[in-house]
Amino acid sequence: MPPLVTRRRVEFRDTDAAGIVHFSAFFFWMESAEHELLRAAGVPVVERTADGVDASWPRVSASCDYTSAVRFGAEVEIVAAVEKIGRTSVAYVFQFGHEGTPVAHGRVVAARCLMHPGRPRAVPIPDEIIVRLEPFRGRN
Amino acid sequence: MPPLVTRRRVEFRDTDAAGIVHFSAFFFWMESAEHELLRAAGVPVVERTADGVDASWPRVSASCDYTSAVRFGAEVEIVAAVEKIGRTSVAYVFQFGHEGTPVAHGRVVAARCLMHPGRPRAVPIPDEIIVRLEPFRGRN
Amino acid sequence: MPPLVTRRRVEFRDTDAAGIVHFSAFFFWMESAEHELLRAAGVPVVERTADGVDASWPRVSASCDYTSAVRFGAEVEIVAAVEKIGRTSVAYVFQFGHEGTPVAHGRVVAARCLMHPGRPRAVPIPDEIIVRLEPFRGRN
Amino acid sequence: MPPLVTRRRVEFRDTDAAGIVHFSAFFFWMESAEHELLRAAGVPVVERTADGVDASWPRVSASCDYTSAVRFGAEVEIVAAVEKIGRTSVAYVFQFGHEGTPVAHGRVVAARCLMHPGRPRAVPIPDEIIVRLEPFRGRN
């Protein structure tokens, strides 16, 4: 199975006074693409655990390199892949393109956490989740 | 002169359904802290050049590592410093803390660009800007 | 032709620490639905005019009434319609629903403006645009 | 006591590709000004009640009328006042100005709610909160 490919059109909220997409938009798009990958893998983004605490995936790190500007109305292609699965965290990589031109690439590490109010605690990723994520492995 | 220290209170718009600050907020805060540093240095964030094109500082890369969660209403301290000045770009580093606890640290590289509509073009940083930025050097 | 119906899934960026969609998200969704309606009508959202100034549609007013909360991951249905076409402005109405339950309804008035830098100036709506918008009339 | 006056500088995140402040920013600013008013009044924005459920103030409605554009870097003055106190809700009005020119005015109605997960329920406003809000009455 290939990495997950999604598309989204640049909305006005994503632009800034420089007339181009604000750099922050790529971080929102990475998060949404990660969530679509999780849904495609059959892994809930937020999951109530047996002891009544939500398990979810807060970010440990996020980064993005920008190579080309995109503007309002453009359709951006996002290729999302699982780069690495650790004991408690997953690294995702993302390629952004527009009409065949690379626009940006990014990387996010998300940790499996029990979301104790205001104080997330990292926990090992269950095996059944690892199995579901494996098919989405790829490199950017 | 020390690096620039600013404070800001977490607004509701900065939080998410996990009950904590959304990871994207740190990127907005880095940009605002960078702009405050530029203002403190006497460097315009956007500047109309002699040939009528705006010069500004779009991001080349941005990254953030998260160590601790913060919640709505908390006051976050932001220490911003110039890490490196290149020919066409400046690297800034940022430390985020809350009540003495490190919360996150980030890094942004911004390129001096002529903002031709939809197609920013990097240009050398004028010497007078370099002179103004030098006093804000620091490491995180 | 009926009003325009679009759907979108609640993204994490749209939520807040109350665990529900932040009220601001509905304004972003209204703007995007308005733009989709314009595209469906064949009206450019931003248009370079003969004298080199962009014509676009800044907001004169925007309002939203909230009747029910929605959460992360929900699919929201948005019904957008043209309520009224004035000399220089268009009023749009929006109904938001989730699984058959009304969630919110909103109204936006956008003025046809020449986007002189920092100083938009309202101008009459061209007849050919009025003709294209008419089929999307509806009431909420 | 007069209504609450706050100031904030337009950040880059608040702008859009039209080169001016995006209309959504005023809704964020209203929320933050409302929260500052609550803090000035000694009313918690979020409050854990005796039975362990948070009480807070989700929006019932929000509206804004725009009269003039503002740009990146401008300092906006916000005058916030309590317009009306009902049994379960408070109406706030907001005036936005820039260098003496009216920019926008808005109105928000927030309901006192017990924040049962995903399903806020309106409750009567405690008398002690009404007493604290009374001094901030004003009209826009």
pLDDT band, very low/low/confident/very high, at D90 (cuts 50, 70, 90): very high
Question: Superfamily for B4-136?
Answer: Hotdog Thioesterase (3.10.129.10)
Nearest chain C residue to A25 by CA: give it. C13
Query: Could you report the predicted ipTM of this complex, rounded to two decimals?
Result: 0.95
Dihedral of alpha carbons A30, B56, B76, D94, sign: negative
CA A10 vs CA A69, C14, D17: distances in Å: 12, 16, 11
Distance from CA of D65 to the nearest CA of A (A): 19
Q: pTM of this prediction?
A: 0.95
Give me D56's structure tokens. 């807070």
Flag if B17 and C13 touch (Cβ within 8 Å): no
Helix (H, G, I), strand (E, B) or coil at D93: strand
Where along chain B do its domains lie? 4-136
pLDDT band, very low/low/confident/very high, at D140 (cuts 50, 70, 90): low
Flag if C16 and B17 touch (Cβ within 8 Å): yes
Flag if C28 and A45 touch (Cβ within 8 Å): no
How much is the pLDDT for B1? 54
Residue with tokens 């199995």: A131
Is pLDDT at B114 greater than 70 in this prediction? Answer: yes
pLDDT band, very low/low/confident/very high, at A99 (cuts 50, 70, 90): very high
**Element spanning B4, H or E:** strand B4-9
Is pLDDT at B140 greater than 60 in this prediction? Answer: no
Helix (H, G, I), strand (E, B) or coil at A105: strand
User: What residue type is assigned to position C118 of the chain?
Assistant: G
Is pLDDT at A1 greater than 70 in this prediction? Answer: no
pLDDT band, very low/low/confident/very high, at A19 (cuts 50, 70, 90): confident
pLDDT band, very low/low/confident/very high, at A140 (cuts 50, 70, 90): low
How much is the pLDDT for D1? 55
pLDDT band, very low/low/confident/very high, at C69 (cuts 50, 70, 90): very high
Q: What digits encode the pLDDT tens for the residues B60-94?
A: 999 999 999 999 999 999 999 999 999 999 999 99
pLDDT band, very low/low/confident/very high, at D116 (cuts 50, 70, 90): confident
Nearest chain A residue to B17 by CA: give it. A46
Distance from CA of A119 to the nearest CA of D (A): 17
What distance in Å separates the CA atoms of residue D15 and residue C42, rounded to the nearest whole number? 26
Q: What digits encode the pLDDT tens for the residues C9-51?
A: 999 999 998 889 999 999 999 999 999 999 999 999 999 998 8
Interval A90-111 mean pLDDT: 97
What distance in Å separates the CA atoms of residue B33 and residue B7, rounded to the nearest whole number? 9
Flag if A69 and B118 touch (Cβ within 8 Å): yes
Distance from CA of C124 to the nearest CA of D (A): 18
How much is the pLDDT for A117? 78
Q: What digits encode the pLDDT tens for the residues D9-47?
A: 999 999 998 889 999 999 999 999 999 999 999 999 999
Q: B128, exposed or middle or buried, with CB in 10 Å at 0-12, 13-18, 19+? A: exposed
Chain D residue numbers with beta carbons less than 8 Å from the beta carbon of B12 are 31-32, 35, 45
Interval D68-94 mean pLDDT: 97
How much is the pLDDT for C116? 87
pLDDT band, very low/low/confident/very high, at D62 (cuts 50, 70, 90): very high
Q: B16, B20, B23, B72: best mutation site toward chain A, by most A Cβ within 10 Å?
A: B23
Flag if D16 and A20 touch (Cβ within 8 Å): no
**Interface membership of D35 toward B (CB under 8 Å):** yes
Nearest-by-Cβ selection for B31 from D12, D35, D45: D12
What distance in Å separates the CA atoms of residue A16 and residue A28, rounded to the nearest whole number? 15
Q: What digits encode the pLDDT tens for the residues C81-130?
A: 999 999 999 999 999 999 999 999 999 999 999 998 778 999 999 999 99
What distance in Å separates the CA atoms of residue C59 and residue D135, rounded to the nearest whole number? 33
